[in-house]
Each structure stands twice: as C-alpha cells, then as structure tokens.
A and B are shown apart, each in its own frame.
Chain A
Amino acid sequence: MSGYQGKKNIPRITSDRLLIKGAKIVNDDQSFHADIYMEDGVIKQIGENLIVPGGVKTIDAHGRMLIPGGIDVHTRFQMPDRGMTAADDFYQGTRAALAGGTTMIIDHVVPEPGVSLIAAFNQWREWADHKSCCDYSLHVDITEWHKGMQEELEALVKDHGVNSFLVYLAYKDIFQLNDSQMYEVFSVIRDLGAIAQVHAENGDIIAEEQKRILGLGITGPEGHVLSRPEEVEAEAVNRAVTVANQTNCPLYITKVMSKSAADVIAQARKKGTVVYGEPISASLGTDGTHYWSKNWAKAAAYITSPPLSPDPTTPDYLNSLLACGDLQVTGSAHCTFSTSQRAVGKDNFTLIPEGTNGTEERMSIIWDKCVVTGKMDENQFVAVTSTNAAKIFNLYPRKGRIAVGSDADLVLWDPDTTKIISAKSHHLAVEYNIFEGVEVRGAPLVVISQGKIVLEDANLHTTEGSGRYISRKPFPDYVYKRIKARSRLAELRGVPRGLYDGPVCEVTVTPKVMTPVTSSKTSPVKHTPQPVRNLHQSGFSLSGAQIDDNIPRRTTQRIVAPPGGRANITSLG
C-alpha cells in the first residue's frame, strides 16, 4: 500500500520526530514489547532499544499498550436533515474522535435525492478538508437510483477513491430503494469492486406503524421505537442478504441494533455469505429503555434508526457476537442534534432528527464491555476497533496496523483508568450524552495522529483542517478474493436439448399475454447497462462454497453434451 495520495496544501506539522520507548505493541495478531520511532507521520522503525538522533521527543510508555489508532467507520458529522445540520461538525466531531482514541473516521455523504453524487461528494470533501482534525474517508449514500447513476458510481470508484456505497431500505418515499433497484445497485457495485452497505429497516412497515402509533395519540419519543420494532430490522437484513447472495455482492450492514438482526447476519455467515455487521457505540453501550424517560429531552436524545432495542440484554449479546467474530467492525454512527433541534419533533416523534453520539466513547465502551469482562483480548480489541475496518475498506496496512511504513496513528492505551462519561466533560456541542453517568474502564493516555501528539496529559492539541482525505481503492483483497472465486465458479449452463417439435397451443387472447410484455417493458433498462456490465461474470450465488453443495443441480449443469447432440425430446404419454 504505497500511494499516499490525498495530501493537501494546508500547512501541517509532519516533521515531528517521535520516539516511544518501552511500549507493548498490540496488533490484531500479536503483542510484543518494542520501541517505535516515527518521522514525517510514518512509522520508520520498530525494535528493541532503538538508538535515535538527539532532539527527538521521547515518550516513555512504561510497558503500557500501544495500539493502532481507532477507525470509526460510520460518522455523520455535519449531516443535513430536514433543514437542520448535525450539531457536531467535522471539527467538533473529529476532535471528539481523537479525544477518544480514534484517529480516522469514514463519514457518510448523503446527497439530496436529485443531486449528483459527485457534487455531494465534493461538497463533503470541502467541508471536511477545512475542518477535519484527523484523517478521513467517505462512504457515498445512494439516495435514489436510475440508470445514469452507474457512471457516477464508476467515476467515484475510479477517480475519487470511494469503495463503499450505502443503500437505504428505510425512509420510504425519501431515500428508500425497492428490491429491484437494490439488485441493480448491488450488481453494479460488485462489478466495480466496491462494498454494498445497507441501512436495513423495512420502510414500508415503518410508515404504516408510524401512522398507527400517531393515530393512537402517541407522539413522544417512545413512538419512535414502537414504530420500529426489531423484527422490521431483522427482516430487512434478511432481504439484503438474499439479494446480495443472488448478485454475489459483498454486503455490509450498518448499525446492527438488535439481537434478531445480529442473528440473521451470523446465520448468513454460517451459510457462506460475504457479509459484515457493524454494531455501534450506542447499541453496545446502552439500550432503548430510555425512550420511556419522562424527561422529553433525554428520551429524544436517544432517537436513532434502527432504534436502540428496549431489550436490556441486547448490549451484552451484541458484545458477545462482536467478540466471537459474528460481528466484525464497530462504528459510532455519530450524528448529534441539540435539544432545540430535536424539539422540532416535540409534538410528533417522526419529526425528531435522528442520531446519537458515540465517536468519543466508542473505544472505551468496547474495552469496558468486552476486554475487561474477558469476552475478548487486547488483540481482538484492535481487530474490531481498527484492523478489520482497515481491511474491509482497503486501508490496510497503511491504517489498522503498527508496522514500519504504516501511518503513525497510534494510541497509548491505559487499561486501568476509569472515567464517568458525562455531557459536562465530553468534547461535543450537544447538551446530552446518551452514556451519561456510565463508568467505563480503559481510556487513551496519548493519541498520535499523523505522527503528531494530539492528546497528552488530558489536553487536546488538534489543528482544524489538518485531516487528510484518504482515498480507498476498489477490490479490497480481504473482501473480494472470495467474491472473485465464486464468480468464476458461477457460470450457468442450460441443458442441451434438441428443438421441441411437438404441438404448440395457440394463445388466442391477446391482452392476457401480459408477462412477456411486462418483462420486455422493463428490459430496456437492461440494454443500457449491458455493454458495461459483463453478465457472464455475474455471480449466481448458489455456487461458491454453499451449504447446498451436495444437491444435484450444479452437477447436472456441468454436463456438457456432445455438440449438436440430439436429445430425445417429446415422448408424450
């Protein structure tokens, strides 16, 4: 991974040289004791008792753990929502991220339906380049779908370093795509070598439930969770898995909030689907009982979609699945709104802007819930907070690993510090912290971003606009090696038969022959993408390493008949 593109002309202090002595270096595969020397934002040397030139700032780690900086794969800083903008912008947000030990974020570009994806992408780039304090990258959300967008996706992948796109199965009549559109998007994404992310909730059911709940006179935040039961999340995950299987497209479920949705992902993985699940700080650290708080402002602060599950055993369950590998990456889905912004929906929960905090608290919550409890070790902790994300999104080994040549995004982690999360002390602009009063063990002591110390002695030294855009190449090996192998296997063959020469019924009634008409009606859509899309490579997912390998279907398919062989066709009776 060499191309360190994406640097900008904003003055940055990269010439810092830094030596960390006596650290226990923790990667996702092993831990070892060594010194580490970095220069120009890159790790130059790792070894025992390094001898370095004078004048180099030295930090003595005293045997504490040094981990790769966290990667928060899901943020929505500055996101516009129905005329409002999220309270924490790229400056506030990345500052909070760094304070919590996260040195890179991947934000979501949300184009207004009707706006070009590239225009929206450029808009986000501009915001982030001016404000971001840490390296960042961008997912692009597909908020509508029509033929012309295929070129835009291609341009984003090939020229702008985007390798992940999100489709919405919720937000009916705003962002929601139907199953046919999802199928087409997935096919395009697979051919481009990108990753299909899905916001999984059934928007049709939600719209109906919202009407019903409002009809019952329930207008408060509890209506939000009542109208979005977890079955609706699990259903959408199941559907996305089915479509991904058919299109042989790698799938990534954002915001896994409930046990049932996580179970669907776990089962799909057992059946061989290439699918990844992302629980977030909120679902790992708290639950949905707060929606019934008598304090409206507090209840409203928890509004996010899919909602936090009212089942209080959910966080523990999700942490366990994260520990055992059924879920792989963690984000924060950080998207905060002030209480007065939330209050726009004070008489109607469907108008409350959605999103919770979590970018600052993510690493500590996982340490506290998973490592302290013995569910995972420090190496797994690195995997789920950083390395897996870097692998899936093709940032590895530049990010997500402590190795010579990798970026100097490092965190000196203190496993024993305890702190109480509170809105009084957090680095955010909002009045509420959904983890208010939660005591967590484990916190960053020193945070190094691009080789520069940004957190030391509990003081933040961030520079607005110092974050670089990190472009990501398509076809990440970690994801696509299996996808490619499957599409090679997936060639379908018909049965070689002679021509049917028996009698054919004459269909007299013309208006009834609707199906052929309708299918050809929709196929014009097909003709345009055809030249670009090589259908012979498309993955029919019943092949590949599937559980039903034993069935006769494929064996039969592979029988190649002698060319021109005439089979016995019509033996009537």
Chain B
Amino acid sequence: MSFQGKKNNPRVTSDKLIIKGGKIVNDDQSFYADIYIEDGTIKQIGENLIVPTGVKTVDAYGHIVIPGGIDVNTCLQAPHLGMTPADDFYHGTRAALAGGTTMIIDHAVPEPGASLLAAYDQWRDTADKRSCCDYSLHLDITRWHDGLFEELEHLVKDKGVNSFLIFMAYKDKYQSSDTQIYEMFSAMRELGAIALVHAENGDIIEEEQKKLLDLGITGPEGHVLSHPEEVETEAVYRAVTIAKQANCPLYITKVMSKPAADVIAKARKKGMVIYGESIAAGLGADGSHYWSKDWAKAAAFVMSPPLSPDTSTPEYLSSLLSCGDLQLTASAHCTFSTAQKAVGKDNFTLIPEGTNGIEERMSIVWDKAVATGKMDENDFVSVTSTNAAKIFNLYPRKGRIAVGSDADIVIWNTKETKIFSAKSHNLTVEVNIFEGMECRGFPVVVISQGRIVLEDGKLNVTEGSGRFIPRKAFPDFVFKRIKARGRMADARGVPRGNYDGPVHDVISMTKSVPATPTTRGPSCPGKTPLGPARNLHQSGFTLSGTQMDDHIPRRTSQKIVAPPGGRSNITSLS
C-alpha cells in the first residue's frame, strides 16, 4: 500500500496526537485502546500508551472511536443544466468533516463528447485547491466517443481511477445503449475497474415527462410521477443481466426504492458480484414532500432516481443495509440554491437535480439503523466506511483503525441527539431536506490526516489540504471472484466433423447478409482499437462460475473433448 499522491501544498502533518480511553470500533471487532498518531498516520495502538511529552491528548472516554466515514458519491462540481452546484469542494468537504466523513469520492462529469482526461484534470485542479479532506474521483461516461477505451485504460493505469459511471437515463444527453453498456462492462472487467450504473430507463422517463407536461402538471410532483420506481427497477434488472453476461462487477448508485433494492438482493443470491449504494436522502426522507404546497421545499427534494413516495421505503432500505443486501452508504450530495432550482418553476424537467446529505449521512445511519437495533456499531463502520474502502481499493489505508492506516478518525457520541436544520448546517443552500429531524449520534471530534478539524463544535479546516488518493485496479474484495469465474468460463464448441449434406441455395442476394455480425460497424467505434489488447479467451462467460444452475448438463457436455480429428456421425437424415 504505497502512500503516493501527496502534494506540495503546505500541510500540517507533523501534529502528534494521542486518543485516550475510547472504544475502538472496526468492522470486525471493538476493543478499548489508546491510539498514537504522528505525521497523519496511526503509529501505535495499545493500552495505556506512554508517549513523548508535548503531545496533544484527546479524551475519548465514554465515546466510540471509529474510522472516518467515506462518502462514495458526491457531486460537488458537476454542472447540471448549466448551473454549478451551490456547495463546491470547499463547502462540501467542510460539511463532510463536520458530519464525521473524512474522505469523499466525487463524480467527474465530462460534458458529453468531451475527453474524460480533460474532465479528470479539471476536477483534480479544483479539488486540489479547494478540498479540505482527502478525495478520490469516479469518472462518468457521458458519451461514447472514439478513443474512449484508450482513455479508460490511461485513467486506470496512470491516474488512479478504478470506477466509471454509466448512465441508463438522461436520454439524448448521457444515456448509453445496451450495446454500449455491454462493451464498456467488458472493457472495465479487463481493466479491473468497477462499473457504476445510474439505473433508470431514460426512454420511459422521457415519454412520461412529455405526458405529464401535456396534462398540465409542471410542479415538482411531476418529477416523481415521471420517474416511477418500476422504471428504476427495470434498469437495475437490465444492468444486472448485462453485467452477468460480461462477468463485470456491478455497482448500483443511489438505490432509492424497495423493488430496486429487491432486484439487487436477488441478484446477490444468484451469485452476482453486485453492490448497492443507499444514500442519506433515501434512508432519511421519503417522496411525500414532492406534494408540498411550498414550491421551494418540494423542489429541494428533486433528484434522480427520486425519493419514493412510499413512506415505508426508508425503513426497508435501512433493513436491507443492515442485513448486507445493500453494502454501503453515500450522500449523492449535489445541492442547488432555491434560485437555481427555480429555473424549473414552470417546468419540472428544468429543475436541477440533487439533494444534500454529506453532513447528515453518518448520523442518519446511526439513528435509523444502530439506535433502532438493526445493526451494531461494527456494522455501522462497515456501511459508512470499511466496505467502501474495500470495494474501491482504499483498504486498509482507509476504512480501518490499524497501525499504518491514515489517521482519519472520528470520536462518536452515541448517546445524545442533534436536530438538523438549514439554520445550523454548514451548507450554502437555504433548504435542508432533513429540516427538523432529530438524530441520535454525532461526531464530537473529527481527525483528518492526523489533524483535529472538529472539536468542541468548532470546525477548523484548511482549504486545499485534501489530497487526491489514487486507487489501484483489481480490488481484491471485488475481483477475486471475477477472476475465478473468468478462468472457469471457457465455453467450448461441440467437436463435430464437417456437415456434408445438401445446402439450400439462397437466391435472393439482399437477404443473405448475415444478420447480426455485420450490423455493428458505426455503433462501437472505440471497440476496434481495443481488439488486440483484449484476450477474448479470458472473457467471462458467466453461466459458469458458482451459479445456481450448476447442475444443468450444458457445461458437462461442453467439456467433452473429442479425440483429435475424430470424425463423428454428422448427417443421418431421418
């Protein structure tokens, strides 16, 4: 685990710190010990540590000490409909730290047609200057263009990106076709990256939007009416099907509805390598607010997929999170001011999408899942930090309290409560979708890179102190299984002699064109250059592997190897 990616920005890493008397909680166990931190790294863990003088001591008695949260889905810079989010990297990461999150993974969204590398550079540039906590980047694939695969390869091998998002929604803008999804999944598997999917059927949504606008429904309720949860579920189902064929690890961002979560849970039972991400909004609020008479409030909830109007959804999602059917939590934080949202005051399709949640995420998960007894403190660490670190190959540098890990640590008060409000949050927007919600559990001390950034309710952040954390390809947690399946998956033909019977003469020339193989020319320009690099024999035919249909005779017959040159009986017509 090389700690590359440090920058030259002046940073205070020489702080020495000792955390005393807390209960250390990792995802696997909890124990009482002191932690000694130096140069942004955990140096020692043990009982009653004796440390040099002049070291600041943080008292953690009565609290738990957990790895800092990792928020795997933020959009702090991606423009939407020509507007930039109200909370940028500075405000966003500041709020993250205030809530106990010490690392974010932001989505870099290139303009459709623009180069991914250019977007990467642009995001790096801004985030390096503005971010207050460590960060990493997902790249969103917004359009299929020539040289896309080379860009993906370059990003994975040289730029420390191991996850790419594909949109199944936003028709004519970001949306990819099934063919493109298949090819990108195949490419990502070869590169050892994880395919993230924004799962909604953009074709249906567009038709529904037209229908609703024609009916004269222009308010925010039109947004949720045009994005029914079946449409989310359908897309998840399709993504699962394609990922299975391509033997590619799949990650569904923003699981917002019960049936979508069910599809993921079922796919896992069938052996798929798939992860589902629930977000703060989905766990802490529901979609009934879209019918609020207060336009500004209703509009603040607009995001895609929308919050489900089914009020039992948050509880259901937190149960699935607790039982492991969903694995991690994010915020999908992407906020717009009321004035920005009001661009769509006469047409809900013009309302920029996104909700807050970066600051509230950890407390919401604690309150909904731990305080209610659905999960324990170790599970809490898993879903807020460790699983994310494992999936995105940050582990054990992040996501664990261990000697050698980064000193991103949170001291968590499990007993007291806090009320969310737009008046007190650390964001620039006027509306907080969790307004008035009382949550048990919040951070009392937050340590980022070995430095105390939150103490006594005061934030002490440094703009630009956040480092870019590169992530390597082929995370073990994800790819060990994928690789095993790839090895198993050699499909074999049946050895037969040549067919020597009569062959019908096809007269009509036009029709004899082989249907499928030829028709693919223009649709996948990026494919051809990749051809030589991609070893088709390693590609995973996913019906193999440990699947539930192992008993069927298909594979057994495949594996029969005939004597070389053996001539079998071919044409016995009746």
- A residues neighboring B (CB under 8 Å): 80, 82-84, 171-174, 178-180, 182-184, 187, 202, 204-220, 222-223, 225-226, 229, 231-232, 234-235, 238-239, 242-243, 245-246, 288-289, 292-297, 299, 310-312, 338-341, 343-344, 346, 348, 350-351, 423-424, 431-432, 492-495, 497, 499-500, 502-505, 507-510, 512-516, 518-519, 521-523, 526, 530, 535-536, 538, 540, 542, 548, 551-553, 556-557, 567-573
Contacts and interface: CB of A to CB of B under 8 A. Distances in A.
Nearest to A218: B493
7 contacts: A83-B507, A204-B177, A494-B222, A495-B293, A515-B350, A519-B210, A573-B422
B6 interface: no
B204 interface: yes
Interface residues of B, number: 120
Given A205-B178, A495-B221, A542-B228, A218 B492 contact: yes
B547 to A, nearest CB: 10
B234 A239 contact: yes
B516 interface: yes
A208 B297 CA distance: 46
B557 to A, nearest CB: 4
B543 A229 contact: yes
B228 to A, nearest CB: 6
Given A235-B237, A518-B173, A494 B342 contact: no
A207 B183 CA distance: 11
Given A346-B499, A492-B215, A568 B293 contact: yes
Interface string B548-562: 010011100110000
A500 B345 contact: yes
B217 A178 contact: no
Given A242-B201, A297-B570, A344-B504, A573 B430 contact: yes
A229 B544 CA distance: 12
A350 B516 contact: yes
Contacts of A187: 207
Interface in B475-502: 490-496, 498-499, 501-502
Contacts of A80: 511
A267 B489 CA distance: 31
Contacts of B340: 505
Contact of A505 (B83, B311, B510, B549): B83
A246 B208 contact: yes
A290 B491 CA distance: 17
A515 B210 contact: no
Contacts of B57: none
A84 B504 CA distance: 9
Q: Which 5 A-B pairs have the closest CB atoms?
A: A204-B178, A179-B203, A512-B82, A83-B511, A173-B519
A324 B149 CA distance: 50
Interface stretch (B14-22, B241-249, B444-452): B241-249
Contact of B245 (A172, A232, A339, A340): A232
Given A343-B504, A505-B343, A497 B337 contact: no
A570 B104 CA distance: 33
Contacts of B309: 551-553
A223 B493 contact: yes
B58 to A, nearest CB: 35
A202 B238 contact: yes
Contacts of A295: 568-572
Interface stretch (B401-409, B412-420, B534-542): B534-542
B155 interface: no
Nearest to A237: B237
Given A339-B573, A504-B343, A208 B183 contact: yes
Nearest to B566: A294
A289 B555 CA distance: 10
A231 B244 contact: yes
B163 interface: no
A344 B496 contact: no
B171 interface: yes
Contact of B537 (A216, A219, A223): A216
Nearest to B531: A215
Contact of B81 (A238, A515, A568): A515
A202 B541 contact: no
A242 B179 contact: no
A540 B515 CA distance: 37
Interface string B329-349: 000000001111011010101
A211 B517 contact: yes
A202 B554 contact: no
Nearest to B299: A500
